[in-house]
Amino acid sequence: AKCKQGESFSTGEIVPYGDISISPCAGILNYGQGLFEGLKAYRTEDGRITLFRPDQNAIRMQTGADRLCMTPPSPEQFVEAVKQTVLANNKWVPPPGKGALYIRPLLIGTGAVLGVASAPEYTFLIYTSPVGNYHKASSGLNLKVDHNHRRAHFGGTGGVKSCTNYSPVVKSLIEAKSSGFSDVLFLDAATGKNIEEVSTCNIFILKGNIVSTPPTSGTILPGITRKSICELARDIGYEVQERDVSVDELLEAEEVFCTGTAVVIKAVETVTFHDKRVKYRTGEEAFSTKLHLILTNIQMGVVEDKKGWMMEI
């Protein structure tokens, strides 16, 4: 669907997957005026198709659109468009337990601009792709703390899902992966002393009964999985602290794990900071394994959805 600046989005249409044509002067191409979202549709054992908290993605896109001066679809339009897209791709939603249909909504400035300005027209589009399960209980992530590159600064766009947040990450990822790491952990730009997040997921540490995760105060993405895991951890009696977490504390933790739509929740096996490599608890005994079961049981419709997080389509 398209929308002129300050107007409302028209009702969109479903078209076969393919290239889109765009002005060379489009805001997204020249000034990175674009946002995206990521969510999953699941097929449950009793034959339903459900979405996990799509209203939260809609709200996050609204917050991002405000930061990037774009007109967003309304939350109702967002959720309805996601539903219609999934229905049209029904056959690609994997069988229960075999993965999910990943859904990628994009809001981009497609109107033409020459000087730095908000594009006069925006496009909201959604594409999908089936994905497998990321989680393997036996192995965890091997993270490299990146002390050279920063991904977000106070006052910047780190707190919204701007396309431009990801371009500084690619070089770090390539370097880390070429040295055998699974992902990169970024530090705060202001001091380089605190941990922020991984390339596409949030990070948590566990010590004793206390679960800690960096605060969503503008430089990290407020993950929907992060928010859900905080709630579930509190429900089972853990204390959850959203606060600055230093690298020193990370290296002293008993357990470290990541959360995000792609990984759901994933244990970190090792963290490497300069020459130091620390190993953490993973596997069946790990807290993150317990939380993985609690959350995936809700997502797969195995247990009653007491929180009202699942939306049937």
- Residues in touch with ligand PMP (CB under 6 A): 38, 197, 200-202, 221, 223-226, 259-261
> In this complex, which beta carbon is closest to ligand PMP, that of residue 201 or of residue 268?
201
> In this complex, which beta carbon is closest to ligand PMP, that of residue 90 or of residue 167?
167
> In this complex, which beta carbon is closest to ligand PMP, that of residue 119 or of residue 233?
233
> In this complex, which beta carbon is closest to ligand PMP, that of residue 113 or of residue 163?
163
Q: Least distance to ligand PMP from the beta carbon of 199, Å?
A: 6
Q: Looking at beta carbons, which residue is closest to ligand PMP?
A: 223
| Non-local CB neighbours of 15 within 8 Å, separated by 6+ positions | none
Strands 141-146 and 264-273, sheet pairing: parallel
Q: Least distance to ligand PMP from the beta carbon of 55, Å?
A: 12
Q: Least distance to ligand PMP from the beta carbon of 114, Å?
A: 31
Q: Least distance to ligand PMP from the beta carbon of 201, Å?
A: 5
Q: Of residues 161, 207, 279, 307, which has the active-site annotation?
A: 161
Q: Is 144 a catalytic residue?
A: no
List residues with catalytic annotation. 161
